[in-house]
Amino acid sequence: RESIIRPYIQLLVNLILDNELHRVVDLGCGDFHIMGQVLSAVREQRFSCDYTGIDVVQDLIAHHVEKFGDADTRFLCADASAPDTTLPDGDILIVREVLQHLENADIAKILAKATKYHYILVTEGIYEGQGVRYNLDIKAGPYTRANKISGVYLEQPPYNKTNIVHLLRVPEDGAVIRT
């Protein structure tokens, strides 16, 4: 939906340009619809931006390599939580609506690998309201925590991350998309 997508795209474009983030790593690149728009806007400003999109779906990555891949835009098929996976170097790691599908142990593994980035931009659908249960553990898969009155709250146990800045909050269907 435009009410969610447009502010997010503008936030990313401004973040990349204002902080001169030339190397972007996108964990869970999905259909590349949003990041394709971000890269277009950034490159229209004649800003050099090297992009690596990562996803676990091999056919999707093969499609992206063929359709969008070039010297500045690469795609990798990988499971970021796997012990043998090393995340590519970059200035920023973008993780949009990925962690909510993972078990807490896998989220912790990804966060440990993400410490090498200057910025980590995490966007998740979360529940905010009475009775919230922070970081309820789930089995990895297509479902999320939002319908269980939960979400991924990196500032809460078991993660207890500090230096978190909430840049964008967009209400959606009884939950909030938080970046």
**Which tens digits make up the pLDDT trace of 77-88?**
999 999 999 999
* pLDDT bracket for residue 158 (50, 70, 90): very high
**Which tens digits make up the pLDDT trace of 51-63?**
999 999 999 999 9
pLDDT on residue 2: 81
* pLDDT bracket for residue 73 (50, 70, 90): very high
* pLDDT bracket for residue 156 (50, 70, 90): very high
Looking only at the bridges linking them, the beta strands covering 175-178 and 119-126 are: antiparallel
The model's pTM is 0.95
